[in-house]
Amino acid sequence: MVRSCCVILFLLFSLLFWGCGFEKGDEVVVYTTVDQIFSEPILNDFEKESGVKVKALFDTEETKSTGVLNRLIAEKDNPQCDVFWSGDPVRAIILKNKKLTAPYKSPAAAEIAATFKDKDFHWTGFSARARVLIYNTKEMAEEDVPQSILELTDKKYYGQVAVANPLFGTTSFHFAALFSYLGDEKAERFLNNLKKNKVLIATSNGDVKKRVSQGQVWCGLTDTDDAFSAKKEGAAINYVFLDQNGFGDLIIPNTVSLIKGSPNPKNGKKLIDYLLSKQTEAKLAVSCAQMPLHKGVPTPANIPSLDNIKAMPIDYELTARKLEEIQNWLKTWVEQTDTE
């Protein structure tokens, strides 16, 4: 009996000893704001190739980028997530500023330009989208399509422009970028004039795509992935990169961050390396028309190269701070628009 007890104690001690330094489990937990239809296949491929079980939490379309962000903030003292995969850099910067992320310099990102990386490696960018104006080709002649976002306040577009709710998703990032680039006074004047021009506030970028496709409005601001999907679905849709003769179009990279104090940091780093790979960028180019940040990634013929797009020169850190700063102003702007 005594010998048996000793053996059991030895085995327990051995398990505890050899378990030190190992992950909580052979799993990784990822929270993402990227559409599940596009992000889930990538995560499934990682799971199959690595043998690491992926537990994923996806945002909803209507609360895009805010739902999982708020959850990560709420979990600060007891992190449940390992990796945050964001559809834009701003949320990653907010988490860094709140000291919720840990630095990780992934070898997979060595060839990605420094513009798309945090200087302290709290986030790294990959596959990018651009903000574009989509328009219904049955409703608008090509010569009537605005070439600058600032033209959308022209009276000839009265009641014919849609934007997604700027409290969520890439539209909030876009508006914050306008504030950081144009300055508060000019940005506020532009948005107030847009409101006076009866802009339609849609629930999401997908809703903008739907309303323009159905001819409810002539045109709307959305992302390249929505524009390409509309064309793929056979809608009478075309798109234009705005301000190519001015301050440029907004480029929106995905970003990935390691959560500070996460339960599975080793597996978290494995997943980050996978997301930042050329292989993943090639898959996202096919599935949702995203533009690789690596050079030499094979892409479908219809995917534009970032080399051929004049990008809006913005400071991502400044834009993240500006986004938090203008939240109340944007909320008031949305409510006033809805009640006019």
Range name among 10-14, 98-102, 331-335 with the lowest pLDDT average: 10-14
Instruction: Select from 304, 148, 137 the least CA-distant residue to 213.
Output: 137
**What pLDDT, on a 0 to 100 scale, did the predictor assign at position 64?**
54
Say if 313 falls within a structural domain. no
Total domains in the chain come to: 2
Say if 171 falls within a structural domain. yes
Q: Give the CATH number for residue 239.
A: 3.40.190.10
Residue 80 shares a structural domain with residue 53: yes
Of all residues in the chain, the percent with pLDDT exceeding 90 is: 77
Residue 47 shares a structural domain with residue 109: yes
Instruction: Return all residues near 11 (Cβ < 8 A) that are at least 6 apart.
Output: none
**What pLDDT, on a 0 to 100 scale, did the predictor assign at position 20?**
37
Of all residues in the chain, the percent with pLDDT exceeding 70 is: 89
In this predicted structure, the answer to whether residue 99 has a pLDDT above a threshold of 90 is yes
Given the DSSP bridges, would you call strands 124-136 and 237-240 parallel, antiparallel or unpaired?
antiparallel
Domain encompassing residue 166 = 129-250+319-339
* pLDDT one-digit tens code per residue, 106-136: 999 999 999 899 999 999 999 999 999 999 9
Residue 50 shares a structural domain with residue 109: yes
Residue 172 shares a structural domain with residue 275: no
Residue 240 shares a structural domain with residue 170: yes
In this predicted structure, the answer to whether residue 9 has a pLDDT above a threshold of 50 is no
Residue 148 shares a structural domain with residue 215: yes
Averaged over 268-275, what is the pLDDT? 98
In this predicted structure, the answer to whether residue 141 has a pLDDT above a threshold of 90 is yes
Say if 314 falls within a structural domain. no
In the predicted model, what is the mean pLDDT of the chain?
89
In this predicted structure, the answer to whether residue 65 has a pLDDT above a threshold of 80 is no
Residue 263 shares a structural domain with residue 334: no
Say if 124 falls within a structural domain. yes
Say if 197 falls within a structural domain. yes
**What pLDDT, on a 0 to 100 scale, did the predictor assign at position 180?**
94
Q: Confidence class of residue 35 from pLDDT cuts 50, 70 and 90?
A: confident
pTM: 0.80
Residue 155 shares a structural domain with residue 293: no
| Alpha-carbon separation of residue 311 from 67, 74, 177, 181, 290 (angstroms) | 29, 35, 12, 12, 15
Residue 45 shares a structural domain with residue 81: yes
Averaged over 261-275, what is the pLDDT? 98
Say if 226 falls within a structural domain. yes
Q: Phi/psi of residue 316, each to 5°?
A: -65, -35
Residue 187 shares a structural domain with residue 325: yes
In this predicted structure, the answer to whether residue 58 has a pLDDT above a threshold of 80 is yes
Say if 308 falls within a structural domain. no
* pLDDT one-digit tens code per residue, 167-176: 988 899 999 9
Say if 66 falls within a structural domain. yes
Residue 257 shares a structural domain with residue 280: yes
Say how far apart CA 120 and CA 15 lie, in whole Å. 37
In this predicted structure, the answer to whether residue 148 has a pLDDT above a threshold of 80 is yes
Instruction: Select from 150, 184, 127, 151 the least CA-distant residue to 318.
Output: 184
Residue 201 shares a structural domain with residue 334: yes
